[in-house]
Amino acid sequence: MESVLEEAVALLDEAGASALTFRALAQRLGGGVASIYWYVANKDELLDRAADHAMGPVLDVVEKLPQSDDPIDDLRVMAVTLFDAIVQRPWLSAYFMRNTSIQTHTLGLYEKLGQQTLRMNLTASQRFHAVSALVGVVVGSAVDLGQEPTQEMLDGNVDRDEYLHRVAQDWRDLDPQEFPFVHEIVDEFDGHDDVDQFRSALELTLTGLRLQAGV
């Protein structure tokens, strides 16, 4: 079981979600395809378990984080830790919190995030929504990352920077009268860093939360 998940994660890391097939996994394990069905009921469960397996080290880090006097600061560090993990493993975002009865590490992370809201003056509803919002920011910001390279990127052998640059050029060719905003931000878009984007989105949500809790 352990080695099944280990090899599944390795396949996902090497070539993304589309590379994880039962046949490829069986080959790496040196067995037949049907064997894997002794450990998991179907591919969904395999992916849920693989994702949670990869969350183990992340939970370890989060649990060892020192607590400051400011729960908002602690939430920020935790969210960044989680986001960093997803940056390194973009395939994670699609399977985060999909089945907590199987994903115990993920549930642990959810709990640790939530415990910070227990330190703030909020209602249970506000706490629930706050953590959902934070998870949403992390996952929402990571959606871009999780996307498999498009056919265009594979064909032209273009990397991310080159791809962003081409899109930016398309945008610059648009009518400035009709698309004033796109023209305003096209230089920002061109070569932008996903981490900056995430950080800004996170800060907006944390600011809103700070105001709500009055801390």
Residues that bind its own copies (CB under 8 A): 41-42, 44-45, 98-101, 107, 110-111, 113-115, 117-118, 124-133, 135-141, 143, 147, 150-151, 167, 170-171, 178-182, 184-185, 187-189, 192, 196-197, 200-201, 203-209, 211-212
* Measured distance CA(17)–CA(43) in Å, rounded: 11
Per-residue tokens: 27:
């080959």
Which stretch, 18-26, 120-128, 140-148, 180-188, contacts DNA (CB under 7 A)? 18-26
* Measured distance CA(48)–CA(45) in Å, rounded: 5
DSSP 73-113: HHHHHHHHHHHHHHHH-GGGGGGTTS-TTT-HHHHHHHHHH
Looking at the Cβ atoms of 27 and 197, the one nearer to its own copies is: 197
Q: Decide which of its own copies, DNA, none touches 127; Cβ closer than 5 to 8 Å per partner kind.
A: its own copies
Residue of the chain from 14, 15, 44, 154 that contacts DNA (CB under 7 A): 44
Looking at the Cβ atoms of 26 and 201, the one nearer to its own copies is: 201
Which stretch, 5-13, 34-42, 97-105, 132-140, contacts DNA (CB under 7 A)? 34-42
Looking at the Cβ atoms of 37 and 128, the one nearer to DNA is: 37
Looking at the Cβ atoms of 30 and 151, the one nearer to its own copies is: 151
Per-residue tokens: 22:
């039962």
Residue type at position 41 = A
Contacts of 50 (CB under 8 A, 6+ apart): 5, 8, 9, 12, 20, 95
Residue of the chain from 6, 13, 28, 43 that contacts DNA (CB under 7 A): 43
Phi, psi of 123 (to 5 degrees): -80, 165
